[in-house]
Amino acid sequence: MSRTATSSDVKAYSVTATGETPKRVTGEARGVRMVLDAPEASGGDDEGLLPVEAVLGALAGCLNSVGHHVATQRGLDVERIDATVEADLDVRRFRDGTDEERAGFRSVRATVTVETDASDEEVTAWLEDVRERNPVIDNLVAPTPVELAVEVKRD
């Protein structure tokens, strides 16, 4: 049976980002900061991950936090969760403005390494739950509308 969302169910997230160079951005949320940048070979100062790498890192972070949360709810003893996340991107749309390929990752592959005494069956059920309840995975696999607005500052 469905229940209407209450105010405590729906949380708002916000990041304010300052473009410091054409490659470097500092994002801030709740007074906490994240720096994104590009390698020197791509015109950056190598002071942070690339934005596309940050998406892969976010997925890994979400696998860790959802993984521990679900393990607790299932009564599984999970000591530690590491992850490797990989993806390929055809850069032609971004780089050249062609429309032959999508702009983003074609697919993403994540491998979770979990330290646990749980059985293989328990781990399989846990992983399925982790996948289904993972916000970052859901935002990748299912369409998420993005509204984009612009404000212009002139001297």
Q: Which of residues 85-144 bind its own copies (CB under 8 A)?
A: 85-95, 97-118, 120, 123-124, 127, 129-144
Angle at 86 between CA 84 and CA 88, to 5 degrees: 175
Question: Which residue of 75, 121, 125, 149 would you call a contact of its own copies, by CB under 8 A?
Answer: 149
75 binds its own copies (CB under 8 A): no
Count of residues binding its own copies (CB under 8 A)? 123
Q: For residues 66 and 75, which CB has a smaller minimum distance to its own copies in the complex? A: 66
Site for its own copies in 12-51 (CB under 8 A): 12-19, 22-25, 27, 29-30, 32-34, 36-39, 46-51
Q: For residues 75 and 99, which CB has a smaller minimum distance to its own copies in the complex? A: 99
Q: On the CB side of 86, how many CA atoms lie within 13 Å of its CA?
A: 4
What 3-state DSSP class applies to 6?
A: coil
Q: For residues 2 and 75, which CB has a smaller minimum distance to its own copies in the complex? A: 2
Are the C-beta atoms of residues 80 and 65 closer than 8 Å to each other? no
d(CA 141, CA 101): 18
Q: What angle, 0 to 180 degrees and rounded to 10, lies between the N-to-C axes of helices 120-132 and 51-74?
A: 130
